[in-house]
């Protein structure tokens, strides 16, 4: 795996040096995922999720459980010295159950968020690719890299904002 990544990096550097040697090569970068998540549609979907009753109830439940665990921990720290070993074990078990409940609630929240992101990407990725192809043709670009692969890209070389504008305009 590391050999492939190393070979890919060497190839990328070679392409960049070859591009620098030839003034005719036009290179740009784009972060398609960031563009999708920056659209008005994505903001609306995420806001709708976070204001939904199911999400809000789950979030409130997680916060309440977190507060209970914190209160239990403070109580154990304050009064634990006077507790019997059985009481300490019982309180620890209760805290572990509450922590487990908290982790489950957080996992459910993250799953809901993940599903919303996945739905957005499924819906907008084809449109983003289409818009990106149009930008590539208009600018007559020779090479477009993922922004995370670039060490440096000037403002004019990053297509992400333009992609967001086109996706918002497409609706």
Q: Which helix (H) or strand (E) holds 145?
A: strand 143-146
Q: Is residue 33 part of a domain?
A: yes
How many domains would you assign to the chain?
Answer: 1
Q: Is residue 51 part of a domain?
A: yes
Average pLDDT, the chain: 88
Q: Is residue 79 part of a domain?
A: yes
Task: Tell whether the model's pLDDT for residue 79 goes beyond 60.
Answer: yes
**How far apart (Å, rounded) are the C-alpha atoms in residues 44 and 3?**
42
**How far apart (Å, rounded) are the C-alpha atoms in residues 97 and 87?**
15
> Sign of the C-alpha dihedral, residues 100, 101, 102, 103?
positive
The reported pTM is 0.71
Mean pLDDT in residue range 124-145: 95
Q: Is residue 89 part of a domain?
A: yes
What is the DSSP code string of 10-77? HHHHHHHHHHHH-TT--EEEE-HHHHHHTSHHHHHHHHHHHHSHHHHHHHHHHHHHHHHHHHHHHHHH
Q: Is residue 37 part of a domain?
A: yes
Q: So what's the pLDDT on residue 7?
A: 47
Is the CB of residue 12 less than 8 Å from the CB of residue 149? yes
Q: So what's the pLDDT on residue 23?
A: 58
Mean pLDDT in residue range 109-113: 97
**How far apart (Å, rounded) are the C-alpha atoms in residues 75 and 35?**
47
Q: Is residue 60 part of a domain?
A: yes
Band (48; pLDDT cuts 50, 70, 90) = very high
**How far apart (Å, rounded) are the C-alpha atoms in residues 108 and 11?**
41
Q: Is residue 9 part of a domain?
A: no
Domain housing 97: 24-170
**How far apart (Å, rounded) are the C-alpha atoms in residues 25 and 9?**
19
103-129 b/e (C-beta count within 10 Å ≥ 16 → b): eebeebbeebeeebbeebbeebeebbe
- Which class for 168: exposed (0-12), middle (13-18), buried (19 or more C-beta within 10 A)? middle
Q: Which range among 3-7, 10-14, 23-27, 44-48 has the greatest average pLDDT?
A: 44-48
Q: Is residue 13 part of a domain?
A: no
């Amino acid at each position: 795996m590391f050999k492939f990544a190393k070979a890919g990096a060497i190839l990328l550097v070679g392409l960049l040096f070859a591009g620098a040697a030839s003034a005719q090569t036009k290179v740009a970068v784009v972060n398609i995922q960031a563009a999708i998540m920056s659209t008005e549609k994505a903001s609306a979907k995420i806001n709708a999720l976070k204001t939904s009753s199911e999400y809000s109830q789950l979030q409130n439940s997680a916060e309440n459980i977190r507060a209970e665990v914190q209160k239990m921990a403070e109580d154990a720290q304050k009064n634990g010295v006077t507790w019997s070993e059985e009481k300490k074990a019982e309180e620890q078990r209760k805290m572990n159950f509450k922590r487990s409940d908290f982790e489950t609630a957080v996992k459910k929240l993250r799953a809901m968020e993940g599903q919303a992101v996945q739905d957005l990407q499924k819906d907008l990725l084809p449109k983003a690719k289409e818009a990106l192809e149009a930008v590539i043709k208009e600018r007559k670009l020779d090479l477009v890299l993922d922004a995370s692969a670039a060490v440096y890209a000037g403002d004019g070389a990053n297509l992400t904002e333009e992609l967001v504008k086109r996706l918002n305009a497409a609706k």
